[in-house]
Chain A
Amino acid sequence: MPYRLRIGGRDVAAEITARRPQLLLRIGEVRCALESARIAGDEFELTVDGVRYRGYWCAGADEVQVRLNGHTYRVERPRAALAATAAAADEELRASMPGVVVAVHCAVDQQLAAGDKLLTLESMKLQMTLLASHAARVRQVHVAPQAVFERGALLVSFARAGEEP
């Protein structure tokens, strides 16, 4: 199973092809032997095909930045879909416990992106702000500030993607 990287704007597939007697890899079209690798803190030292490389690196959310021989490389690794945890096309947002509405942050017909604020609710002396789990359009907001609701109450309805208003 190849690892997919993006470097210098190009998609590159990387694969381990053998481990003994040396770790052999294929990076894009290039085959190479990784003879030794030491990564400590923010510095690295590799020996690839007999050539030693020394430099610095750091990791961000989706990419690794490498400083090597006076050049900064940004190597992106596509991340596994986090959206899997969100149900696709949730059409209704229902209350998971009773409480009161503190603030409404969305409006009818508003096109939301994943992570946009919907409502701030208060339950059990705890306030929480509910966010849109995925892109959707608000079809209707069923509550107003200071409204008291029960568990299971319908709070917001969304239009399915592609649905006419």
Chain B
Amino acid sequence: MPQRVLIANRGEIACRILRTLRALGIGSVAVYTFEDRSAPHVALADQAVRLEAHAPSAAYLDQAQLIDAARRTGAEAIHPGYGFLAESAAFAERVAAAGLTFIGPDAAVIRLMGDKIRARAFAAEQGVAVAPSARGDGEPAELAARAAAIGFPLLVKAAAGGGGKGMRTVQAAAELADALHAAAEEAQRYFGDARVYLERRIETPRHIEVQVLGDGQGNVVHLFERECSLQRRYQKILEESPAPNLPADKRAAICAAAVRLASAARYRNAGTVEFMLAPGGEFYFLEMNTRLQVEHPVTELVLDVDLVAEQLRLAGGAGLSFAQEDLQPRGHAIECRICAEEPQQDFRPATGRVQVLRVPQGPQLRFDGGIGVGQTVTPAFDSLLAKLIAHGDTRGEAAHSLERALRDLVLLGVPTNIDYLARLLRHPQFLAAELHTGFLEAHAAELREGGGGADAVAAALVALLADVDFRRAAYEVPEPHASIGEWRN
């Protein structure tokens, strides 16, 4: 195992990785920009290196600076977290070329899975079903024919893409040309690669993904599945494990497909194979994410494993720590993503300064946060502030615990979606596990904030008491005027 690791990331994932490094007694190096100088991950690490850049997020993408920081601090390995350079094959190569260990798979596999068209072809070769799809280039007539073969509505997706960027839904043939153009332009902007492809659009699918660990020799274990169907604009909001109401044979098939794929790629380190489960029961390969995912904690709680620790071991050249039979999922875990946004303003990202933070504690409760009191939330970075995860013996218990914890959680100073998440966890259809990727849109009206709240009067009083003019008027009027009260002659 590497003895000193640099985390090329920030926020909650940097803190999460740091926790494992500390637990294992491994030295840690954090990197940060000026804006993040008071962030918790900086203080948690043994060493911290300041990055310079013209824009805050650019710093975390500056490969040369990151590698240089590792060299200067004696870090042997770099953990990329998720986002930023986590799926940059070029970065993985450069890290290796610098004599450092990249905690993740090989550059070649990153490159393979990063190109959605190649990845899908590879999956198909392994006998993993892919949704009917076609290339998005060529003559209009060919394109139209391919599109017709897939059927409408269909999706235009970016080959180098993810997270919903460079994606368009096409309802009818007439819209195809515009959608291709718009998607390609967005893909170029976000990924530097304008290639797009067409894919059949499945109605009300469920998003099921499988966590895998590989030793790079072709040995792969799966750590069962996660359900991530609750999304808004392709951003996951709430994830859970196991996927509810999933027949055992379906689970087995999906997990086996994931293992087959990862094994064929001689996958090393942690990865996630994402599938779409159609209402009819068919499942299709979506993509493979060659990194640790945001929602990995639900797997950790259900299987009592530390995925970051496994990543470190595998990066150090060790084999897999457990065999498939060793992994027995227990109970149910649910995670929700706490974001700086305003649900009643169409989830517009919000900014502010965290002024009050009280995190509920509990044996079955886990809070993965990256913010501290006094920290400013800016538009420079994405809006994910923290994750709250609950484990229970049953799904119902986990949902109840998580909802309770959300109500006990106090995060003030920047608007968040905490109350929205609590409403979601109380929603009857959620509790009945009637999940699909269109759930949040379909139930948007019911999930909207209700009336003023039963305690609106008390809240108004607090706001009034916070005002010095009101306090003076309420308490500093002398006698006899205070006793006389309102009087006119």
Contact = CB atoms under 8 A, between A and B. Distances in A.
Task: Name which of A27, A30, A53, A65 has the most chain B CB atoms within 10 A of its CB.
Answer: A65
A60 interface: yes
Interface residues of B, number: 43
Contacts of A42: 355-356, 412
Contact of B412 (A8, A30, A65, A69): A65
B464 A70 contact: no
B174 interface: no
B427 interface: no
Contacts, number: 131
Interface stretch (B45-53, B135-143, B447-455): B447-455
B463 interface: yes
A69 B456 CA distance: 11
B388 to A, nearest CB: 13
A154 to B, nearest CB: 36
Interface stretch (B22-30, B214-222, B245-253, B469-477): B469-477
Contact of A39 (B352, B462, B486): B462
A48 B465 contact: no
B473 A16 contact: yes
A20 interface: yes
Contact of B453 (A8, A18, A32, A46): A8
Contact of B485 (A19, A34, A66): A19
Given A56-B358, A67-B356, A72-B419, A39 B465 contact: yes
Contacts of A23: 474-475
B108 interface: no
A14 to B, nearest CB: 6
A37 B413 CA distance: 22
Nearest to B408: A70
A8 B452 contact: yes
Contacts of A60: 352, 413
B44 to A, nearest CB: 23
Interface stretch (A73-81, A105-113, A115-123): A73-81
Interface string A1-37: 0010101111010101111100101011010101001
A144 interface: no
Using C-beta atoms within 8 Å of the partner chain, give the interface range for chain A: 35 or more
B461 A27 contact: yes
B458 A46 contact: yes
A56 B455 contact: no
Contacts of B475: 23
B489 interface: no
A57 interface: yes
Given A32-B457, A53-B455, A67-B412, A44 B462 contact: yes
B412 A72 contact: yes
Contacts of B453: 8, 71, 73
Contact of B460 (A9, A18, A27, A39): A27
A48 B461 contact: yes
A165 to B, nearest CB: 34
B477 to A, nearest CB: 6
A35 to B, nearest CB: 11
Nearest to A51: B458
Nearest to B458: A53
B458 to A, nearest CB: 4
B472 to A, nearest CB: 11
A17 B458 contact: no
A158 B352 CA distance: 34
B413 A7 contact: no
Given A39-B465, A42-B355, A56-B412, A68 B458 contact: yes
Contacts of A39: 462, 465-466
10 contacts: A3-B470, A20-B485, A46-B461, A55-B410, A55-B462, A58-B355, A58-B413, A63-B463, A65-B412, A68-B458
Interface of B: 344, 352, 355-356, 358, 406-408, 410, 412-413, 415-416, 418-419, 422, 449, 451-467, 470, 473-475, 477, 482-483, 485-486
Given A57-B462, A58-B356, 8 more contacts: A3-B464, A16-B474, A42-B355, A56-B410, A58-B413, A67-B412, A68-B458, A75-B462
